[in-house]
Amino acid sequence: MRAIVECVPNYSEGKNSETIQAISDAISSVPNVALLNVEPDADYNRVVVTFAGEPFAVVEAAIRGHRVAAERIDMTTHKGNHPRMGAADVVPFIPIRGITMEECVKLSELYAERVWAELGIPCYLYEYAARTPERKNLAKIRSGEYEGLPEKLKDPNWLPDVGDPIFVPKSGATVTGARFFLIAYNVNINHTDVSHATDIAYTIRSLGKPVLDAEGKQVVDEKGKKKFIPGRLKEIKAMGVPLERNGRKLTQVSVNVINYRVTPVHVVYDEVVKEASAKGLDVTGSEIVGLIPQEALVEAGKHYAKQKNLEIQNEDDFLELGATYLGLSDLSPFIIEEKVIEKIVAQKLSLSEKALTIQTLSEFSTNVASESPAPGGGSVAANSSALGVSLLEMVCSLTIGKKKFENVWEQLSKVRTELALNRYELLAAVERDTIAFNQIMKAMKLPKTTDEEKAIRKSALQKATLKATEVPLKVMQVSLEALKQAPLIAQLGNPNALSDVGVGAEMLLSGVRGAYFNVLINLSGLTEDHQKTFREHSKEIAEQAEQIAQTTIKEIENKLMNG
């Protein structure tokens, strides 16, 4: 399954059409990314851009959009009705298909690192990428907005997650992270009294119904906080609204499905139908505002098929069934190819399962072969290990689902999940190694005429070299984690793919060795204490990797030789 990630940056510009177009063009310039929507708001002075595609291509597109925003948006003169703290204000990464939330967290971290390294703009991490509980909430991070940012950056409790606490007047700061796809979903009730829809909304939403006193005023607790009777469904926001459309007067339970994997859309629909029926009201259908992930609609189709005992296997048939069950054409025709995000991305990009990510193998190897010193050995080592992990994941996938290996499905499923996170960490390191090297080059170009300039240059060079050593060490650590799974996969995995385990182990060992060389070459630029720590740690990892890989490879060779 091809991985698809959505990104929905909010930029602090809703009036200048040339700037909005320039941002959109920058995003669209990235291969394997589809621009889905551009929605400016002049009152908010803000534009929301939606695009989706392959994971690392989406990161690149977000960087290109941010670069244009940093060039063209001046926060010192910005005014708008929406809370904001930066030119590229909030940039979330959202898993759509074939990718986990944890992997999207790693994408957001890579994005933040690139924003700081390439644009010099500090970043905060929120939602699932938050490193402290208080930073999970976007509103808390953004409190004080742009105007309060200079003081906020001085507060030890609000240092950026990525980058130094430096106030950049023109661009401010950026919040990034990973979150679930929010589905805007409305259920239609054939009645004009909105109080019924409101009561149903209160019943199903997570917050629940307000507790009222005898005079109809909402009750508060001893701390002044409003009291509620918790609602029936988790991860749901809802309210009742009146609606007149196409000559029809009705009401809606307007719902935000915050996490459709916790509470599926069809569960929301069923609950509204049940509550409406208890009031003697009819639900005529529902509507999706914006887009919906394919998985959410397929699950609705499966739910309907189970109710009707229908024998269906085709995913497109489930999509049609889901749309029918939810009555999504009640107010206007629901066209799957225009509302399901994966279908739109596939059409716009003509995606095939054989396409590569942001660079083809040919482009990457050509870049390595050029006279530029980066990408170099560190990036190649990380790439080697990432390919090794991919092979181990493949063998797990070729085993899971096969009836004769049923007793190991659960065990290898857990292994595959861990390996996927290893792979994303290693792919990010391909970029991080080049970023780190470029920071060293930047530090080396600093002036060194006066003693003060020399001291500043030395400090910057030490800091950059430390980072450039940490990156390959991390590659070694992650590669070793993955390599430790190889013996188990060789033992439990599909024997027809045993050679792939061997190649995977070889690639991981190659990645460890290559990263080890990159640790060693940087040691001379570090303090003696750092040299000792890195030398000992990296040597220990290299020796462990050598032992595990050679033992595993020898066992695989014996099995293959002896049939």
Active site residues: 82, 433
Helix (H) or strand (E) holding 484: none
Residue 506, helix vs strand vs coil: helix
Tokens representing residue 89 in the block: 């204000």
How open is the CA angle 504-505-506, to the nearest 5 degrees?
90
**SS percent in the chain: helix, strand, coil, step 5:** 55, 15, 30
Residue 490, helix vs strand vs coil: helix
Please give the full DSSP string across 71-140, using - where no structure is assigned.
HH--GGG---SS--SBSEEEEEEEEEES--HHHHHHHHHHHHHHIIIII---EEEEETT-SSGGGSSHHH
Q: How many CB atoms lie within 10 A of CB 242?
A: 12
Spatial contact of 196 and 262, defined as CB atoms under 8 Å apart: no
Q: How many CB atoms lie within 10 A of CB 362?
A: 9
Tokens representing residue 431 in the block: 């970029």
CA dihedral 117, 118, 122, 124 (to 10 degrees): -80
Phi and psi for 131 in degrees, rounded to 5?
Answer: -95, -10
The whole-angstrom separation of Cα 299 and Cα 321 is 10
> Half-sphere exposure (CA, 13 Å, Cβ side) for 191?
18
CA dihedral 100, 101, 106, 108 (to 10 degrees): 130
> Half-sphere exposure (CA, 13 Å, Cβ side) for 183?
28
Q: Where are the alpha helices (DSSP H) in 314-376?
A: 315-325, 336-339, 341-349, 361-369
The whole-angstrom separation of Cα 265 and Cα 255 is 10
Q: In what order do the strands lie in the sheet with 248-257?
A: 236-245, 248-257, 183-189, 283-289
Phi and psi for 261 in degrees, rounded to 5?
Answer: -80, -20
Point out which residues pair with 226 in neighbouring strands.
220
Q: How far is CA 508 from CA 34, 71, 283, 513, in A?
A: 33, 41, 57, 9
Closest CA to 396 of 480, 497, 505, 484: 497
Closest CA to 441 of 402, 408, 468, 407: 468
The greatest distance separating any two alpha carbons of the chain, rounded to the nearest whole angstrom, comes to 86
